[in-house]
Amino acid sequence: MAIRKLLSLARRPRPPYLLPYRTASTAVATAADSSPAPVTPPVMIYDHLAAAVKAKIKRLDDPDPRFLRYASPHPNLADHSSILAAPATRVTTLSNGLRVATESTLASSTATVGVWIDAGSRFETEETNGTAHFLEHMIFKGTEDRTVRQLEEEIENMGGHLNAYTSREQTTYYAKVLDHDVPKALGILADILQNSSFDEARINRERDVILREMEEVEGQTEEVIFDHLHATAFQYTPLGRTILGPASNIKTITKEHLKNYISTHYTAPRMVISASGAVKHEDVVELVKKLFIKLSTDPTTASQLVAKEPAVFTGSEVRIIDDDMPLAQFAVAFNGASWTDPDSIALMVMQSMLGSWNKSVGGGKHMGSELAQRCAINEIAESMMAFNTNYKDTGLFGVYAVAKPDCLDDLAYAIMYDISKMSYRVSDADVKRACNQLKSSLQLHLDGTTPIAEDIGRQLLTYGRRIPAAELFARIDAVDASTVKRVANRFIFDQDVAIAAMGPITKLPDYNWFRRRTYLLRY
């Protein structure tokens, strides 16, 4: 009886899930016919679970199609007619080489006029470093025709705003006034640039002001980090020096230094008179012809001076350990592109791809930047910011971040991973989103007469012309995923880095760790 029961069990067909790679019907057909039949894998319980998980992920990635058009970086309608209708920039070059550029907005009731000079701290020597910034302070301290009081009262009475700033390659003096005060503003600018008196007593008094300003700058940690970054990345070159200069130079700069700097660098071919708002080009040109008549016509250009002392990028680092500081901060930078480099636009797009994030602002989990998402979700940073700085012959491209001491290793890994990843894997959607963000930020920045005048003056000094917004947008739209990967392989893949760090940074990985992660091992 037991033997008969075993035989009946042996003849019973096995359930489908015990037949590997064949169903029950396929097994019967194979027994009846020797011809091969198609093999169909069984549907396992795990396959059902995997399909359910994939469906949930798809619903998260691809929400209701009615709302997809709002999340997609690809616009349904790209209309650039407003960009093409922007006011034209008119440029006139005078006989002495001085350029006058204007953009008229007749609907405006205010105007910004200024002088943009192709001269900065880069064109100083080791002994005169800080002269350009010192001159910026002294330029408002009275002229041969106006005392300090008269100068200040004239600006105050017209309700205007007079300001100046100095960078490593450019110096700017500008005034923002009402439309009917444009001739007065140009007269003041011409007077202070050509007839400054440089009284010895005021020079000595201004030394203390600049030394106090240096103390204030030392309290701004971001400024300090970028000064150290330039000092280590461009060491032994003029671009590595600070704008304010060392305190020893501030105490020894004399009237002769200031006058020599003006006669050497404040020349007509290296200057641009820029105006925007309620101005007329012909009127501004006539005023400039009458007012700016004492400028030097030395034909030496800033590019020729840069060629004599070019900036050389050096892979290096500087670390200032201060355990008393609550937060650590560091910047990692690669050698970037110059203003006129064809890949400078692609680096701007890559900067938008890396993005910026601040813990106090919130958000981050749904930002387009994967680096910002990592910082927000994992809470490994207080803030981070990608930067792309351009100069005449070089640049700096990298990320600046602030974090708690115990998060430095995770944050450093996230930064280097996302930077290096652009050499290997880039999606078209991320590039398109970054292009849209870049175009939007450029347009939002040009909101007002002062940013427009600044944009005109800077572009004429760097490019020799003002690039129209339509042309700039076309160049940005031309950047795609393959372009980003090519540019990343040029500037990032297996390239030296410069690091500046300050604060409780004992847990920040060493230089070789950063250098090793400029490339990924893929097999």
Which residues are the active-site residues? 136, 206
Relative to beta strand 356-358, strand 328-335 is unpaired
Q: In terms of Cα–Cα distance, which of 492, 498, 500, 499 is closest to 517?
A: 492
DSSP string, 140-173: TS-BSS--HHHHHHHHHHTT-EEEEEE-SS-EEE
Cβ count within 10 A of residue 56: 10
Confirm if 119 and 265 have CB atoms less than 8 A apart. yes
First to last CA, the chain: 63
Confirm if 66 and 59 have CB atoms less than 8 A apart. no
Confirm if 481 and 428 have CB atoms less than 8 A apart. yes
Q: In terms of Cα–Cα distance, which of 380, 365, 353, 392 is closest to 492?
A: 353
Distances in whole angstroms, Cα of residue 7 to Cα of each of 341, 399, 459: 85, 76, 94
Q: In terms of Cα–Cα distance, which of 377, 375, 397, 395 is closest to 387?
A: 397
Is the torsion defined by CA of 68, 69, 70, 75 positive or negative? Answer: positive
Residues in the chain: 523
- The H or E element spanning position 286 is helix 281-291
